[in-house]
Structure 1
Amino acid sequence: MTPTDTKRADSPAQAVKPLAASERAARGERPSKFVVYAALPKAPQKFIHMDHEQASAATKHFSVRSAFSFLLVGGLATALQYLLTAIMALGFGVPPVRASAIAFSISAVANYLLNARFTFKSEKSHRETLPRFAITALAGLLVNTIALAFLLSIGLNVVISQILSTACVLLWNYGVNSVWTFRNKKARDLAP
């Protein structure tokens, strides 16, 4: 029996019990299949079955290469956002939070195109990924705007506030885009 051949108990108070080979056979599973069993909180017991190929697909986008590429693309998009924010706030007198929000929106388009092509090497259509990216970017805009407004309200200057806000958005965007926006179809089909 391998460590993955376990079944989580219905309540946290119960111990994790091994899944009997007869239970796996009753489910029609081959002994060599990699199976993950997970209880969903406050929901009926549900099982997610993954063979090795599906497990690899589920984690495909989490790699050093994709993280480095995401940082590079994000750095370019961030530089564009900072440049546009500075031009609008310092050159045209647009309030910093508004200038940052506008610049964020423009840089999000560049970010999408570069991440789809280079970071995640997406083969999915823009019809499928663009709305997801837009939802993720809008949520990132909300994170950016709230963080920036808060940091400015406690007296930090615009540059430091924007850098800290950007760090929050970076973590949000990489995680969501990796597991939802650009996740390949085999990985998405894991849900029961």
Structure 2
Amino acid sequence: MRIGASLLRQFVGFAAVGSVGLAGHYLVLTGLVELQSVDPVAASVAGFVVGGLINYALNRRLVFRSDRAHSAAGPRFLAVAASGLVINGALMTVLVDWLEIYYLAAQVTVTVGLTVWHFALNKYWTFGD
């Protein structure tokens, strides 16, 4: 029971600090689409990169409190982020281009799934002991 409560608290912390990265992601996404007329899939990828940079710093320090050296954690975080980037791009292509779902609704759907994906990989591989 204690492990479950601890894991839940950590996931909530992950989601909370992730909201900062998410804000960066969505600001870039909507700014590029609405102000620059950039394709929503390309804008989503750019936003994903910005959000990822924010999330590395916050998750390493605040959520996982990792002592793993940046030289070890950094490449792992990039690998996890790259996997999420590919999944994000693929799912946005399917949802926006093929199924013609409004880009923000599609991005919210993709974000929910990727939150679980990123938490698990970062907890147990990137920042885990």
Q: Same-fold call, TM > 0.5?
A: yes
**For the pair shown, which has the larger CA radius of gyration, 1 or 2?**
1
Asked if structure 2 preserves the Cα contact closer than 8 Å seen for 1:144 and 1:168, the reply is no
How far 1:101 sits from its partner (Å)?
A: 0.2
Matched, 1:71 2:11: no
Once the two structures are superposed, what CA deviation does each residue of 1:9-57 show, in whole Å capped at 9, x if it has no partner?
A: xxxxxxxxxxxxxxxxxxxxxxxxxxxxxxxxxxxxxxxxxxxxxxxxx
Matched, 1:156 2:104: no
Matches within 5 A, 1:37-186: 63-152=7-96, 153-184=98-129
| Cα distance in structure 2, aligned partners of 1:92 and 1:150 | 23
- Structure 2, gaps ≥5 residues long: none
How far 1:85 sits from its partner (Å)?
A: 0.5
The number of residue pairs the alignment matches comes to 125
How far 1:64 sits from its partner (Å)?
A: 2.2
More helix by share: 2
Once the two structures are superposed, what CA deviation does each residue of 1:92-124 show, in whole Å capped at 9, x if it has no partner?
A: 111100011011011101100000000000011
| Cα distance in structure 2, aligned partners of 1:72 and 1:145 | 23
TM (normalized to structure 2)? 0.92
Once the two structures are superposed, what CA deviation does each residue of 1:158-177 show, in whole Å capped at 9, x if it has no partner?
A: 11100011112111101100
How far 1:73 sits from its partner (Å)?
A: 1.3
| Cα distance in structure 2, aligned partners of 1:73 and 1:145 | 23
Percent identity of equivalent pairs: 29
Secondary structure in 2 matching 1:155? coil
How far 1:86 sits from its partner (Å)?
A: 0.6
- Structure 1, gaps ≥5 residues long: 1-58, 185-192
Which structure has more RCO (C-alpha within 8 Å, separation ≥ 6)? 2
TM (normalized to structure 1)? 0.63
How far 1:63 sits from its partner (Å)?
A: 1.4
More strand by share: 1
Residue identity matched to 2:82: L
| Cα distance in structure 2, aligned partners of 1:148 and 1:165 | 7
The alignment's C-alpha RMSD in Å is 1.4
